[in-house]
Chain A
Amino acid sequence: MSELIPTIIAKYNYWIYITLMMIGLYAMIAKNNLVKKIVGMNIFQTAIILFYVSIGVKKGATIPISTGGHGAAHEVVHAADYLNPLPHVLMLTAIVVGVATLGVALALALRIYSRYNTLEEDEILAKIRKK
């Protein structure tokens, strides 16, 4: 048990990322208002992106832009000097797809509001059941 404590303290980042993800997941399931659900979806998405990008961090490495400039095509590049660029590439796609999903979700919420005149989930269900 006593050797578990240093590992728990060393990996404090992962616990906070998991907390953020669970906050987003809880908001998507349990909140009543549709806009709060959409905010929870976005919190979940950015927390996952944060977790993914943190995999590419290396101790003592610099940002993934080559320091030589355009004319340095013939110098040797050491992989240990630069951060891992692969998670950055994948998460760039994820961020922009996230904002596109946000646009579609808000359009759906506007349509629901113009039909039922409310955005609370229980009121919408009551109106549907009454018909």
Chain B
Amino acid sequence: MFWQIDLAILTLVVVTAVGSLMVKDLLGAAILFGAYSFLMCLLWSIMGAVDVAFTEASVGAGVSSVFFVAAVFRTSRRTKD
């Protein structure tokens, strides 16, 4: 039971990381980065690192995504790359 969940969440982590770098819309990249942070938090909860998971949930999936969205709001939203 343990290694199946691990492998599934690790695959999703790689998919969201690659996806956040490939989309041409910077707002979508910020939201996908929030999803990547949340999946990392899940991974650490499975491994038993509860303090680290708590910090990543509040910092990564919370405040960090808001900073990204605020910065994209002040600059341009589309990119060619």
Contacts and interface: CB of A to CB of B under 8 A. Distances in A.
A98 B72 CA distance: 19
Main secondary structure of the interface of A (DSSP, over half): helix
Interface string B63-80: 110011011101110011
B75 A119 contact: yes
A110 B71 CA distance: 7
Contact residues on B (Cβ < 8 Å of other chain), bracket: 35 or more
A127 to B, nearest CB: 15
Contact of A92 (B55, B63, B75): B55
A8 interface: no
B17 A16 contact: no
A103 B17 contact: no
Interface of A: 12-13, 16, 19-20, 23-24, 27, 31-33, 35-36, 39-40, 42-43, 46, 49-50, 53-54, 56-57, 61-65, 83, 87-88, 91-92, 95-96, 98-99, 102-103, 106, 109-110, 113, 118-120
